Amino acid sequence: MTAVLGLKLGPQHDTGACLVWEDKGVLRCCALSEERLSRRKQDRQFPKLAIDAVLAEAGLPLSAVDLVCVDKLGPNTMVEQTRPIGTVDPDTWQPEEKAFFLALEGKPAFVVNHHLAHAATAYYPFNRDKAAVLVVDGSGSDWPLEDSGDRLIMQGRPDEVGNYPLRRYPRRAETQSIFKARGTTLERIATSTRSGAGHFYSYISKHVVGFGQLQEGKLMGLAGWGSAEHLPEYPAFPDPLFDDIDTPMLDYLLETEWQVPSVRPKDTCATTPPYNHIAFWAQHWIERAVLHLARTAVIETNSRTLCCAGGVMLNVVANRLARDTLKAEGRLTEMLVQPASSDSGMPMGAALVGYYIVAGGKLPFQDNPVYLGPTQDEAAAEREVIAIGGSKPDSLLEAVADLLMQDKIVGWWQGPSEYGPRALGSRSILCWPRSPEMKDTLNLRVKHREAFRPFAPICREENAQEIFGVDFPVPHMLFNTTVKPEFREKLPAVTHVDGSGRLQTVSRAHTPRLYDLLGVIRERDGLGVLLNTSFNDAGEPIVETAQHAIDCMRRTGLDALVVGSALYIND
């Protein structure tokens, strides 16, 4: 049996751990971000808690691991594929990292290239034999300065927001990459080392609209409040700028001396002009950039399957445009996006690079690509709920449906957690979306987030075309959909201002209890759609354990909590 441990190390955000191991003819996987256990959002600390959790899932001590691969960014860990830990300047490592490597007692350990790790997450978990792989993020592994005159546009420290002039600085790093996947091999075809789509979107989100660090999802939501009528007020990027793998939009703005608008004052609502229209403009151009890169990827690799990862690929609106356009052009059969496309997926990427590329492993990835958290003791979790006054109703789903249709807000905790930034039915907060006030109620009592941001609908896979006009599964909430006009008044809490809905479709395979609940709701209201949002309060990670769920319920305005088959009503 081969077992590989993958780590994302600081000081960058989203540290975590992933273990892959061979078991009964498949490659098993357990992956967890450190934040889920430390309760520190986007944790940058050494992922000790996550390491212990994934090793415990396989029942292995660290000494039984055959290979360790890590993602760690910086000039001292420059690498195009992999390099042994021993070739890195020892002063690069933090004290806890040094202690961990010593504890390996000579076991092989490697640093992996950041974009290669992203590509591994995009390709291997879907068990395809041939694909184009597209990676689009902010920036990844450093590349040698002396090999090119390319220099990145500065984004600023996490605490620097607004009033930040466009300027280059002496760093060169990968920003957008295309790989050709064949069998278990990943061949790099092209890489950009210029600030690309990710840096453009981040810069506008952070320094113009004033959302701060790593808040680009808010800009995507805000774009729905803008208007195409105002596009001529902002720069239009010429077609030749999108050249092969390069989309240097910030370079263009710098070279044309664009006057960066003043950052939005904190006391100004984001939907106030011009910020809503700036968001629309930024979204318009990131869609064009992603479409260009996706088209380039399938053409350059002669592939009809496109696998994607990197933080930019969490932009569901851009993904849908790329998918639909390339299918209409006859270039694409399927487009697959990794649910943990952000840097939270790096531990998995490092582990998969270790297994398939370093160790030469051949087993297919397990059937479940997203519910990768540690196995939970459901009976013990239910006892925790019963201990605080909960019960196990004979007809749990009927009881939950009663609560939801009385406009109650229900915390939903089931099985292993989802890997990545989005709740997909294991760690969710559920509401009935019929009430026009539900969105504001949820924001005020539980989520405490900006009112302009949309909430996501969830429904059974077989009902998606009827209500959302989508004829393909959307199991990971990664392709935008539109609520059909005739259903918008019936689903006000999940219909965005532009008529869109960031849908998740549900099948019985991995979330059977949620699937059955949606069936009960459909029997009662004729639709079977719920509002689904992540189980957490603003500024905290998604809950991992049942105790986290109980604590979150007590701190917020949740009306009820479901843990396994146990129900607690928060009177």
Give, for all 571 residues of the chain, the pLDDT tens digit: 899 999 999 998 999 999 999 999 999 999 999 999 999 999 999 999 999 999 999 999 999 999 999 999 999 999 999 999 999 999 999 999 999 999 999 999 999 999 999 999 999 999 999 999 999 999 999 999 999 999 999 999 988 999 899 999 999 999 999 999 999 999 999 999 999 999 999 999 999 999 999 899 999 999 999 999 999 999 999 999 999 999 999 999 999 999 999 999 999 999 999 999 999 999 999 999 999 999 999 999 999 999 999 999 999 999 999 999 999 999 999 999 999 999 999 999 999 999 999 999 999 999 999 999 999 999 999 999 999 999 999 999 999 999 999 999 999 999 999 999 999 999 999 999 999 999 999 988 898 889 999 999 999 999 999 999 999 999 999 999 999 999 999 999 999 999 999 999 999 998 999 999 999 999 999 999 999 999 999 889 999 999 999 999 999 989 999 999 999 999 8
Q: In the chain, helix, strand, coil percent, each to 5?
A: 40, 20, 45
Residues 491, 463: Cα–Cα separation, whole Å: 14
Among residues 164, 197, 284, the alpha carbon closest in space to that of 235 is found at 284
Task: Report the C-alpha gap between 310 and 319 in whole angstroms.
Answer: 12
pTM of the predicted protein model: 0.97
Closest CA to 28 of 282, 369, 421, 320: 369
- Cα-based distances in Å from 393 to 389, 413, 515, 571: 13, 16, 18, 17
211, 261 contact by CB (below 8 A): no
Of 53, 46, 142, which Cα lies nearest the Cα of 98? Answer: 46
